[in-house]
Amino acid sequence: MVRATRGVAAGAWYFELKVLHLGSTGHTRIGWATNNADLHAPVGFDVFGFGYRDIDGSKVHKSWRSKYADQGYGEGDVLGFYIHLPDGELYEPKQPFLVHYKGLPFRAETPKVAEQKTPDPVPGSEICYFKNGVCQGTAFVDIPGGRYYPAASMYTMPDEPNCEVRFNFGPNFEFFPEDFGGRSVPQPMSDVPYRPYELANEGPTENGTAEKKHLTAV
């Protein structure tokens, strides 16, 4: 999975993605994933991701594929991704305590069992997908609280050209919907500011100096 560097925990937001190349063996799952989603697995593999599948337009969550759109998507299609998290900041889990080691952030300790549970759902929250400006319907509602990032996973057989997609975070979209069906009109993901994580080292670090730094969220 690849995941964007800016995420949202509240409000209505939107981004586009154009499918540039799939080839004869390529496939994709595109959607939203929180910072707790497994980056070594496809979008929708766990409780922290919600995917839209190319083959039959199905939706994927917790590795379970369900009927969604009437048909899939392919090369040349422009997909739209909408998320609405009303008052979502009230349901966002506390960020993990991180330490800075060899230039990278790491969790300071294994999360407690209570911290590993699925976050409470955000009442009234919704994810829906668009294809060439046309809404494919509501995909998910009352999703768990968290900070959600645009995400994509792509597959192809060995010795075949790689799949290729192009994200468009706005503000100029190719197929921005004219009608959101009564939903809140979203902001483009390009308007999301970077959100820093605080890193605090306790005790001596590798160079013998305790330090406290800030790191841009990834």
DSSP state of 25: T
Q: 137 with 82: CB under 8 angstroms?
A: no
Q: What is the pLDDT of residue 118?
A: 87
Q: For the chain, list the strands marked E by DSSP.
A: 2-3, 11-21, 27-34, 49-53, 59-61, 64-66, 78-85, 98-101, 104-107, 126-131, 134-141, 148-155, 164-168, 187-188, 196-200, 212-216
Residue whose structure tokens are 């997909």: 79
What predicted TM-score, i.e. pTM, was given to this entire model?
0.83
Q: What is the tens place of the pLDDT at every residue in 37-60?
A: 999 999 999 999 999 999 999 999
CATH H-level, domain 2-93+119-192: superfamily: SPRY domain (2.60.120.920)
**Strands 49-53, 64-66: pairing kind:** unpaired
- What's the mean pLDDT in 187-203? 74
Domains in the chain: boundaries: 2-93+119-192
Q: Which residues pair with 79 in a beta bridge?
A: 17, 131
